[in-house]
């Protein structure tokens, strides 16, 4: 018997800044009929990502806004339990932009990836083999242009994107330096993720620690934070450095717009490049990215941490923690699959 | 009879900020003997460039510093009056980094270009066909990546780099929008340089005027100024925009380092690129750039203005005006050639 009811997290009000639990509400609805070319997916895991702030905020978005009353946009992973599309069959595992809900009835345009080989945990396809890993892989390789021997610095280094950036940098023959918040995350960078060095941006000696960790300067900076962390890195860039702007997690709000030291002179003096990038622009690289990342997971070069919350009810309050660093790895919501 | 005495402008003290007359002094010296592989060049024109600030300032330079007591580094154009090098003969006209002085005895490494065809005024090889034109050409074509129909905005648009940027943009099929200071310079942009639109950054309606001048947004921004002008442009960039950082003329000093609205979010939301560039890195493109620019001068697509001061004595005080906008075109020093 196919399910008929669906529980969903809807956007209730538009946050200014970081989305909080009260900006969402849980609702129940009847599943629509499965149209021609559509599939019914049962969700096992929902993703929680810093990018969600941009999907719901009124200011400076880079995606269409989630409408008030709409299902919260999110990556999810699950299995196909009914298919009206020839390329998908019951039992296929898929990942896609399927929303914060228990089920989705979607055209296959919403599906990003059909998992070919089921030896790795499904949850990985939302993290190390999903948005986060792919962001790290494309951002670093395509925009960071790392060369063996380069010093690659990444902020939010213990996070799911940052930890992948460091490990991919190592796999490509670079020196990886992580910036993370607090001694525990610094230890994860060194012990679990194999960074060559890691520094604590909360330490009073952060600026000096960073310089010491990068005696040859910074060739590639993968910027997940913006703010004072990035200002410190910019002072150490080398000639021809590449700065990949991936996120701005340290900026709580862009209204009012924050100020900081002007970067133009650094870019000019060092002939450096600062470029924004969002992995959703690079769907054509999704499959090859997952394959490369899977190979590194299988051979032990890519480690990951997960921070799994149990049940759909946890979703509304799950974003805010990402901005305080309270999560301990890739944050996911696990749904009870019946 | 070859000359034996040389008059030179030496760096007397290191400015913090914009070099002033008192940072230099005039000195007389004996010309050294002409060594093997060297030539003696008689200077007709000396160049005055905003980049000179960076060559003498203690803070954030992109070239080796001119030492205290050293001849001021500068482009100059003149004729060879004695040659100990097989590739140069007496009567050849050359341009190169020959210094603020009446003569130079140099190895041919200092010479950037030997002028093949003498139909155009020699002074142009320091402006529209020199550092300024080449900066505009390489910066726009190599880093701005303009496509026909793109809106190209340039600051300091009435200046020698900016006016060339606008005209090259037009020659390449783009819409050219200039930002200049005051109604007279705006008129030059429109009447002499053929910009599609030009706006006055000193006007109280500047931000609105700029938006109105760029109804489709800004695809390429050639930034000569930094500061509030650039902040306004960044608010209007399009998806995939290219921002070429060429100069920071609106920033009087980088000590203390000025703050401004953070650009990271714009770069991320618009997947835009901000890149510093200095034409001296691209010597390999010098000859082809001069040839393309010369063709545009000859067919009337590239107009220029010159602001010529008479005599070596004018050199020390000639830089500061560039930062107040008091010059009325490419600033040059004409020497009396005896």
Strand B5-11 and strand A330-334: the pairing is: unpaired
**B256: closest CA of chain A, how far (Å):** 10
CATH superfamily entry for domain A131-280 = NAD(P)-binding Rossmann-like Domain (3.40.50.720)
In the numeric block, which tokens belong to residue A323? 């901005």
DSSP A299-314: TTS----EEEEESGGG
Q: Rounded mean pLDDT of B257-282?
A: 94
**Which residue ranges of chain A lie beneath pLDDT 70?**
59-63, 338
How many Cβ atoms are within 10 Å of B313's Cβ, its own excluded?
Answer: 13
Residue A171, phi then psi, degrees to nearest 5: -60, -25
ipTM for the whole complex: 0.87
CATH superfamily entry for domain B5-127+304-334 = Medium-chain alcohol dehydrogenases, catalytic domain (3.90.180.10)
Q: Is the pLDDT of residue B62 over 80?
A: no
CATH 3.90.180.10 residue spans of chain B: 5-127+304-334
- Confidence band for B323, pLDDT divided at 50, 70 and 90: confident
Q: Does B280 touch chain A (CB under 8 A)?
A: no
Q: Which residues of A touch B261 (CB under 8 A)?
A: 257-259
Are the Cβ atoms of B263 and A275 closer than 8 angstroms?
no
Closest Cα in chain B to A275: B273
**A132 with A331: CB under 8 angstroms?**
no
Q: For the ranges A185-194, B10-19, B55-64, B193-202, which has the lowest average pLDDT?
A: B55-64
**How far is A109 from A98, CA to CA, in rounded Å?**
10
Cβ contacts from A onto B, under 8 A: 122
Q: Which residues fall within 8 angstroms of residue B59, CB to CB, at 6 or more apart? A: B16, B253, B254, B255
- In this complex, the residue of B62, B226, B275 whose CB is nearest that of residue A273 is B275
CATH 3.40.50.720 residue spans of chain A: 131-280
H helix intervals, A272-335: 286-298, 320-324
In the Cβ-directed half-sphere of B227, how many Cα atoms lie within 13 Å? 16
- In this complex, the residue of A230, A262, A271 whose CB is nearest that of residue B226 is A262
CATH 3.40.50.720 residue spans of chain B: 133-280
Are the Cβ atoms of A226 and B269 closer than 8 angstroms?
no
Name the CATH architecture for the domain at A5-127+305-334: Alpha-Beta Complex (3.90)
Q: Residue A31 has what DSSP assignment? A: P
**How far is A218 from B287, CA to CA, in rounded Å?**
33
Closest Cα in chain A to B238: A62
Rg (CA), chain A: 20
Closest Cα in chain A to B262: A259
CATH 3.90.180.10 residue spans of chain A: 5-127+305-334
- In this complex, the residue of B62, B266, B271 whose CB is nearest that of residue A281 is B271
Number of H helices, E strands in chain B: 9, 16
Q: Residue A30 has what DSSP assignment? A: E
DSSP A143-171: II---TT-EEEEESTTSHHHHHHHHHHHH
- Confidence band for B58, pLDDT divided at 50, 70 and 90: confident
Q: Is the pLDDT of residue B16 over 90?
A: no
Quick one: pLDDT at residue A127?
Answer: 95
**How far is A262 from A271, CA to CA, in rounded Å?**
15
Start-to-end CA span in chain B (Å) = 12
H helix intervals, B66-120: none
Strand A218-223 and strand B93-97: the pairing is: unpaired
pLDDT digits 0-9 by tens, B187-210: 999 999 999 999 999 999 999 999
**A41 with A79: CB under 8 angstroms?**
yes
Task: Indicate the class that CATH gives domain B133-280.
Answer: alpha beta
**How far is A57 from A22, CA to CA, in rounded Å?**
14
How many Cβ atoms are within 10 Å of A259's Cβ, its own excluded?
Answer: 12
Q: Does A43 touch chain B (CB under 8 A)?
A: no
Q: Rounded mean pLDDT of B119-148?
A: 96
- Return the closest-CA partner of residue B19 out of B311, B252, B224: B252
What value does the mean pLDDT of chain A take?
95
Please state whether B60 falls in left (phi above 0), alpha (psi between -120 and 50) or beta. Answer: left
Q: Which residues fall within 8 angstroms of residue A215, CB to CB, at 6 or more apart? A: none
- In this complex, the residue of A251, A268, A276 whose CB is nearest that of residue B267 is A276
């Amino acid at each position: 018997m196919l399910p008929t009811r669906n529980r969903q997290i809807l956007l209730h009000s538009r946050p200014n800044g970081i989305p909080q639990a009260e900006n969402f509400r849980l609702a129940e609805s009847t599943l629509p009929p499965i149209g021609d070319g559509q599939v019914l997916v049962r969700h096992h895991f929902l993703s929680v990502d810093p990018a969600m702030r941009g999907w719901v905020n009124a200011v400076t978005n880079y995606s269409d806004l989630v409408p008030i009353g709409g299902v919260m946009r999110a990556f999810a992973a699950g299995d196909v339990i009914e298919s009206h599309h020839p390329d998908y069959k019951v039992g296929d595992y898929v990942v896609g932009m399927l929303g914060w809900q228990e089920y989705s009835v979607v055209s296959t345009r919403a599906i990003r990836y059909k998992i070919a080989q089921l030896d790795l945990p499904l949850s990985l396809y939302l993290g190390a083999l999903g948005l986060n890993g792919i962001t790290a892989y494309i951002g670093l390789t395509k925009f960071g242009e790392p060369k063996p021997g380069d010093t690659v610095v990444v902020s939010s280094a213990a996070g799911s994107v940052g930890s992948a950036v460091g490990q991919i940098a190592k796999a490509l023959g670079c020196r990886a330096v992580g910036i993370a918040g607090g001694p525990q995350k610094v230890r994860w960078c060194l012990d679990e993720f194999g960074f060559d060095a890691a520094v604590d941006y909360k330490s009073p000696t952060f600026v000096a620690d960073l310089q010491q960790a990068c005696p040859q300067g910074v060739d590639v900076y993968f910027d997940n934070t913006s703010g004072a962390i990035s200002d410190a890195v910019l002072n150490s860039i080398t000639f021809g450095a590449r700065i990949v702007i991936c996120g701005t997690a340290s900026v709580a709000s862009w209204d009012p717009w924050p100020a900081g030291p002007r970067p133009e002179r650094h870019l000019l003096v060092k002939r450096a490049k600062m470029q924004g990038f969002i992995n959703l622009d690079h769907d054509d690289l999704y499959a090859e990215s997952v394959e490369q990342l899977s190979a590194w997971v299988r051979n032990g070069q890519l480690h990951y941490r997960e921070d799994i919350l149990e049940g759909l009810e946890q979703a509304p309050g799950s974003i805010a923690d990402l901005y305080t660093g309270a999560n301990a790895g890739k944050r996911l919501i696990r749904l009870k699959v019946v």
